[in-house]
């Protein structure tokens, strides 16, 4: 059984159909596009199995948003507002580690979190365990690059929010890469082809992956909440509400009376009343959504169930990174091929909507994405929009920074 929201290209649909050959149920969210084996925006329900490439290499990538007690009026107007927003952007960029800066520069990162003593670490070969744990410690609370960000936003009443988007960094990437190898009878550390691999949770290998995936989830939660709260404190605010979700993960859930392992790859859980933070692009509004409390009256199909109680995780790309930014030689900076988007186009958009940007490349320009209201409209009947958030400050990794752990 499959359900498709929105319009998609043939390759994305083909990927979903390939996944459906091994899953009990699948769905594709309206922000979907081509991914590794499973499309981004895809949701698949399995019987006691989990897909390693379905969860993905950035295990537990997700979004967190904190509503603060400050109103945007504290930012002033005119030149004063521009100065304050610029200062906030600079402080975030200087305090939080982005991109190639893979070690947390702050001296108060939660490196002693109890997750580092979790029993799941024993599933990692002893010869690699301490090295990976140390890498995870120094990367906790780093944001990475690609489409990962820290935002300052204002809602429809002018209240300030802090939003973040990133995952489990090198820890999750290492777990995913090595279980992909182990599942193909290769050694830990070997490079394995990116193919569909389903691990039975009743086997030692499946159980070990599940425990480490869950640990990566705890790790991502700790990192996102630390960064978001760091920025809340930075602007002198207090936390009023936290909205927090993974969108690259697997959960054990009951649907229509049957238990499944539900993999969401670039899709946000949206059970009735469950809140989620969904970003647009660096130049578009974001939203706080809630799973619809009930199906519309007289509906032939409960779209919430058809979506496996899921929704979009963002606006969804309409251009690949290379198509948007062109191809540039990493070492020399030589432009091999021009992209479709120029710096003038990107900054013209941002200036028009009043966004202060630090970092970010043409591959993340607003023109490279769908418009979020369109994909949300395609999910009508599954979610309700609670708040619309205008971006004021967006901080991302610099365009030329290389990061092997981005999604």
Give the max Cα distance, the chain: 62
37 belongs to a structural domain? yes
| Residue 298 lies in domain | 2-398
pLDDT confidence of 332, banded at 50, 70, 90? Answer: low
Position 339 scores a pLDDT of: 87
Are the C-beta atoms of 370 and 281 separated by less than 8 Å?
no
Position 146 scores a pLDDT of: 85
333 belongs to a structural domain? yes
CA distances from 267 to 63, 102, 346 (A): 11, 26, 27
3-state SS, residue 229:
helix
Token pair recorded at residue 262: 């539900």
Tens digits of residue pLDDT in 88-144: 999 999 999 887 545 677 778 888 899 999 999 999 999 999 999 999 999 999 998
Average pLDDT value for residue range 313-319: 93
Q: How far apart are CA 147 and CA 345, in angstroms?
A: 18
Of 308, 310, 287, 294, the C-alpha closest to 372 is: 287
Q: How far apart are CA 108 and CA 34, in angstroms?
A: 38
Residues 288-298 as b/e (b if ≥16 CB within 10 A, e otherwise) read bbbbbeebeee
**Stretch among 126-130, 207-211, 299-303, 384-388 having the lowest mean pLDDT:** 299-303
407 belongs to a structural domain? no
- How many distinct structural domains can be found in the chain? 1
Strands 356-360 and 383-398: parallel
pLDDT confidence of 243, banded at 50, 70, 90? Answer: very high
Neighbour-count burial of 15, counting CB atoms closer than 10 A to its CB (0-12 exposed, 13-18 middle, 19+ buried): buried
Q: Three-state secondary structure along 311-369? A: EECCCCECCCHHHHHEEECCCCCCEEEECCCCHHHHHHHHHHHCCEEEEECHHHCHHHE
63 belongs to a structural domain? yes
Going through 122-279 in order, the beta strands assigned E by DSSP cover: 149-154, 159-166, 198-200, 239-246, 248-255, 258-265, 267-269, 275-278
404 belongs to a structural domain? no
Are the C-beta atoms of 288 and 243 separated by less than 8 Å?
yes
Average pLDDT value for residue range 282-292: 97
Answer yes or no: is pLDDT of 406 > 50. no
300 vs 187, which has greater pLDDT?
A: 187
Which residue intervals of 140-278 are DSSP H helices? 169-182, 204-234
Answer yes or no: is pLDDT of 369 > 90. yes
Average pLDDT, the chain: 93
405 belongs to a structural domain? no
pLDDT confidence of 276, banded at 50, 70, 90? Answer: very high
Residues 311-338 as b/e (b if ≥16 CB within 10 A, e otherwise) read bbbbbbbebebebbbbebeeeeeeeeee
132 belongs to a structural domain? yes
Q: Three-state secondary structure along 44-103? A: EEECCEEEHHHHCCCCCCEEEEEEEEEEHHHHCCHHHHHHHHHHHHHHHHHHCCECCCCC
202 vs 337, which has greater pLDDT?
A: 202
pLDDT confidence of 407, banded at 50, 70, 90? Answer: very low
Q: How far apart are CA 123 and CA 108, in angstroms?
A: 28
Tens digits of residue pLDDT in 171-213: 999 999 999 999 999 999 999 999 999 999 999 999 999 999 9
Q: How far apart are CA 308 and CA 264, in angstroms?
A: 10
Q: Sheet harboring 2-4: ordered strands across?
A: 2-4, 25-33, 40-46, 258-265, 248-255
Output the domain CATH number for residue 212: 3.90.1860.10
């Amino acid at each position: 059984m499959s359900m498709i929201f929105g319009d998609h290209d043939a390759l994305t649909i083909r990927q979903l159909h390939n996944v459906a050959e091994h899953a009990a149920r699948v769905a594709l969210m309206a922000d979907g596009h081509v991914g590794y084996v499973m499309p981004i925006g895809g949701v698949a329900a399995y019987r006691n199995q989990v897909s390693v490439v379905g969860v993905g290499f950035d295990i537990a990538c997700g979004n967190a948003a904190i509503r603060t007690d400050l109103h945007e009026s504290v930012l002033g107007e005119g030149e004063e507002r521009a100065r304050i927003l610029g200062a906030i952007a600079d402080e975030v960029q200087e305090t939080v580690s982005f991109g190639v800066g893979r070690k947390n520069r702050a001296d108060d990162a939660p490196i002693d979190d109890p997750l580092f003593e979790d029993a799941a670490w024993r599933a990692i070969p002893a010869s690699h365990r301490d090295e990976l744990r140390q890498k995870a410690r120094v990367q906790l609370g780093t944001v990475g690059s690609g489409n990962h960000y820290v935002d300052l936003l204002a809602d429809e009443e002018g209240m300030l929010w802090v939003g973040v988007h990133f995952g489990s960094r090198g820890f999750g990437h290492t777990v995913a890469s090595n279980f992909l190898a182990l599942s193909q009878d290769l050694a830990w550390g070997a490079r394995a082809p990116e193919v569909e691999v389903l691990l039975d949770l009743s086997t030692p290998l499946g159980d070990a992956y599940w425990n480490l995936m869950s640990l990566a989830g705890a790790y991502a939660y700790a990192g996102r909440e630390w960064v978001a709260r760091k920025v809340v404190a930075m602007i002198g605010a207090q936390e009023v509400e936290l909205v927090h979700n993974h969108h690259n993960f697997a959960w054990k859930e009951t649907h229509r009376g049957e238990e499944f392992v539900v993999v969401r790859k670039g899709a946000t859980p949206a059970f009735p009343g469950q809140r989620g933070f969904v970003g647009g692009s660096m130049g578009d509004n974001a939203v706080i959504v809630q799973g619809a409390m009930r199906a519309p009256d007289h509906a032939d199909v409960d779209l919430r169930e058809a979506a496996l109680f899921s929704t979009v995780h963002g606006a969804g790309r309409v251009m690949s990174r290379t198509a948007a930014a062109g191809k540039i030689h990493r070492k020399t900076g030589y432009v091999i091929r021009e992209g479709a988007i120029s710096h003038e186009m990107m900054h013209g958009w941002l200036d028009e909507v009043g966004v202060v940007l630090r970092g970010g490349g043409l591959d993340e320009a607003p023109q490279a994405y769908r418009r979020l209201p369109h994909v949300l409209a395609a999910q009508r009947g599954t979610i309700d929009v609670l708040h619309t958030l205008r971006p004021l400050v967006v901080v991302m990794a610099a365009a030329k920074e290389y990061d092997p752990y981005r999604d």
